[in-house]
Every structure is written in structure tokens, then in C-alpha cells.
Amino acid sequence: MTGRHPMRTGLYGVVNPGAPWGLKLEERTLADALRDAGYETAICGKWHLGEFQEAYRPTKRGFDHQYGLWFGNIDYFTHQRNGRLDWHRNDQLCYDEGYSTHLIAKEACRLIREKSEKKPLFLYVPFNAVHGPHQVPEKYLKPYAGLEGVRRKYAGMTTAMDEAIGRIVAALDETGIRNDTLVIFSSDNGGPKPGSTSDNTPLRGGKASLYEGGLRACAFATWPGSIPGGQVIAEPLHGVDWYPTLVKLAGGSLNQELPLDGKDIWPVLTEGAESPHDALPLWGMAPDQAAIRMGDWKLLVHAHHEPIQLYNLANDMGEKEDLSGDLPEKVKELRDRLDEWLSSAVPNARVSRKDHREKNAIQKD
């Protein structure tokens, strides 16, 4: 399961506090689509798609309920970033105290227990764990005495998050809706700082890279009676595939002004079907980095450093042998397809503070 694909959004890089940009307002979110389909919608956790104007905030982007943080890198205990509180309920400052992972789980459980009997619930729970800063209550460190430094904290944070997810699933059982609920778990990138924080072996690289260690991410889906249990799916799928898959399952409409990137993967999950993708674009965290996967072949392009690289993932999952010099025709085939995507990609939405000030000055004049 690959995790990054900002082709439609134009979001390259991180939206920082006060940044005058975010997810473009013309984009239809999954929450928008599911609310249109009759769902109650909620987000508990990290938003990180813009807030500099009210229209960019979660409750204006399809969510009936919001709880948690707008940005990343907050202190897990004080909920501050750079001395400013970043903890919100329905997009208003909230002063709840406690470890953020625990608070997010508590709110998610509350929403499950208090959900409307008249509407199904779409609950999105993007924990800020296990992102830095690496902080966790002392009791979660005790089982990992054999580890040291950040690796020990990382393990403890993962355990706290795993425990929190268990509480959410228990709330589904308690309310009797577990068998009527599709549960999806997914990460957005591979582990950071391989060799220190995480270990992506046998994959090369980590978070923020275009190598498999940065792009491949763990994911699972469970729905008793609907998805066969115990299966492992090796087909290449993408995080954007959840959008059309979930909207279709919910009976919603996929008719919209902007095109879809994802494809319905329900047959892959339930019937053993092959991936609906003949190729996948793989964007990096900057607009000058891109890659494409077609079948077992993968091409990486870096605009300002390193030559084009070509790998066969079936024979070389660790991306150790660059075949670009030996197979120029294969390079051209993948590069032509990638260039098609690049030509239609949404421009980067990020603007500098200087550009924003100048734009405002022009508008005022």
C-alpha cells in the first residue's frame, strides 16, 4: 500500500501554523462525499491540511465533529507547538489535559457510544502517534528495557497507540455495531530515520524518500462476514483508492467536477482480484521528485540530483541494482507515462509568506 499521491491536491511539503495555503477549497473530501451520502462524520486526531482561514478547517471540509490537533509536532502532554496551544474541539481551542493518544481514543469512543441511531458513522482517527516529538508515559517504556534512546520511546508510543486502537474496537463491540463496521488501518509513509527510529529492512530508504522504504506502508481492512480473514494482499494499491471504494460502499455519488485518482479496490479485498491499476504515480514530498510503478518496474526521477533510476521490484525489492543504463527502452516507456501525469498535475499550493503579503497588498490597493 503506497501512501503519497498529491497529484490532485498540489500539497507538496508540510502545512505549518499560519501558512497561507492548504488543501484547495474546490477539492471534495471523503468527509464531504460521505456526509452527502447520509453519514455522520467525525475526525479525531491530526488535520494538517490548512487553517489560515476558517474555510480551510475540518468543520468546513465535511466533518460534523472535530477533535484534536491542526498540525504536527505538538507536545503530546501540553499539546503545544512552539509555545502555542494546538488542541481543538469543533475548531475552537480546547484545554483538555492528558496524553494526546489517550485523549484521541477517548473522544473516538465517546462518538461511537453517542452516535446517532438515524445515521451511520464515518470516524476518521489520524493519531499524531508515532510522529515526533518522541514522548510517552513512563509505564509504556518498561516493557522495552532492552531498547535504548529514541527506539525505546518509539516502541512505547506504538504500544500506547495500539492500546488506544483496541479501546476503539472495544467500543464498537460494546455498542453492538462491530459486525456492521468496516475498520481500516493505514500509515502514510514508511518508518523514519532507518537504523535509528525504525527498521524498514529489506526495503531501501525511509520516510520522505521515493524508495520503497518511504513509499510502502502497512495497511489492513477488516469487516466480519464481508472481507475474508487471514489473507495477505500483495497487489499494488494506493491510499487514494479508499476514496472511491468507501463512497461506493456507502451508496454515495462519485459524480464530481474534479477527476478521481483512486480506483475501487473492493474486488481486490473480497474476491482476490488483481490491482485495478496498470501503473501508479508515486509523488515525493517536493514537486521535483517523482516515481512511477508499472507492474514490477519502478522509475525514479530527481530533478536536481542523482540520475534517473530503474528497478525491477520482483527481483530487487531493496532497490540495489539500477538497470536504467541497460534498459533504455524500458526507461523511455515509464518516463513517457510519468510525464503524462506530471503535465496534468495540480500546481503546488504552497506559497511563501512574502508572496502572501504581496498578494494581500495588491488586493488592498
Q: What is the CATH number of the domain that holds 268?
A: 3.40.720.10
Q: Per the domain annotation, does 221 fall within a domain?
A: yes
User: Is residue 354 situated within a structural domain?
Assistant: no
Please report whether residue 296 resides in a domain. Answer: no
Q: Helix count (H) and strand count (E) of the chain? A: 8, 13
Domain assignment present for 124? yes
Please give the full DSSP string across 160-229, using - where no structure is assigned.
HHHHHHHHHHHHHHHTT-GGG--EEEE-SS--SSBTTTB--TTS---TTSSSHHHHB--EEEE-TTTS-T
Q: Which residue type sits at 58? A: P
Residue partners of 36: CB distance under 8 A and separation at least 6? 252, 253
pLDDT digits over 170-188, tens only? 999 999 999 999 999 999 8
Q: Residue 38 has what pLDDT?
A: 97
Q: Which residues contact 347 (CB under 8 A, 6 or more apart)?
A: 10
Assess if residue 331 is contained within a domain: no
The residues, ordered by sequence, that sit 6+ positions from 129 with a Cβ below 8 Å of its Cβ are 76, 100, 101, 157, 158, 160, 161, 164
How does pLDDT run across 17-68, given as a tens digit for each residue? Answer: 989 999 999 999 999 999 999 999 999 999 999 999 999 999 999 999 999 9
In the three-class reduction of DSSP (H, G, I as helix; E, B as strand; rest coil), residue 298 is classed as: strand
Is 59 among the domain residues? yes
pLDDT of residue 342: 81
Sign of CA dihedral 259, 48, 44, 186: positive
Full-model pTM: 0.91
Task: Say if residues 246 and 34 touch (Cβ distance below 8 Å).
Answer: yes
8 in any annotated domain: no
Residue 133: how many other CB atoms lie within 10 Å: 13
Alpha helices for 250-325 (secondary structure H): 266-271
pLDDT of residue 152: 95
154 in any annotated domain: yes
Grid cell in block for residue 330: 524500458
Which residue blocks in the chain are alpha helix, DSSP H? Answer: 30-36, 100-113, 149-174, 212-215, 242-249, 266-271, 328-344, 353-364
Residue 253 near residue 211 (C-beta atoms within 8 A): no
- Domain total for the chain? 1
Q: Over the chain (365 residues), what is each successive 10-residue block's mean pLDDT?
A: 49 84 93 98 97 97 98 97 97 98 98 96 97 96 95 96 98 97 94 88 92 92 95 93 97 93 95 94 73 95 79 97 97 93 76 44 33
How high is the pLDDT of residue 343?
80
pLDDT at 287: 58
pLDDT tens-digit series, residues 303-322: 666 689 999 999 999 999 99
Q: Are 76 and 128 in contact (CB under 8 A)?
A: yes
Q: Which of 252, 191, 325, 183 is nearest to 39 (CA)?
A: 252
Domain that holds residue 123: 30-277
